[in-house]
Amino acid sequence: MPNKIPEEVKVTKKPKGIEEEMYVLKLFVTGILPNSIHAIKNANAICEQYLEGRYELEIIDIYQQPSLAITEDIIAVPVLIKKFPLPEERMIGDLSDIEKVLKGLDLV
């Protein structure tokens, strides 16, 4: 039986000390395909390095939850959606271009 990403994985970090703006992110992937695995690793690494203590990252496998992909009008995967702070941004790909991701998150 092949490895599966759990139906819904949520990683939530609580802010430490001062109130800072929380980032709400959704990462849509397709099972255990290489691009999806890279996107998950890259998203986690970027969040830990640049958003430590102030992010919520939800990882959604569209094979297991296709209705969420329809709700969000997903046309390509992997895709990271920044839901908050506004404006909403979408970054398609394995998130290996850190500069592009940081711009999409308004961190640069």
Does the residue 19 lie in any domain?
yes
Does the residue 3 lie in any domain?
no
Give the domain range for residue 70: 8-94
Question: pLDDT tens digits for 59-75?
Answer: 999 999 999 999 999 99
CATH of the domain at 17: 3.40.30.10
Please give the C-alpha separations between residue 87 and each of 73, 84, 90, 102, in angstroms, as whole numbers.
Answer: 17, 7, 10, 14
What the block records as the tokens of 85 is: 């702070």
Does the residue 27 lie in any domain?
yes
- Confidence band, pLDDT 50/70/90 cuts, at residue 107: confident
pLDDT at res. 19: 54
User: What pTM was estimated for this model as a whole?
Assistant: 0.81
Short-list 83, 80, 84, CA closest to 21? 84
Does the residue 56 lie in any domain?
yes
Question: pLDDT tens digits for 19-78?
Answer: 578 999 999 999 999 999 999 999 999 999 999 999 999 999 999 999 999 999 999 999
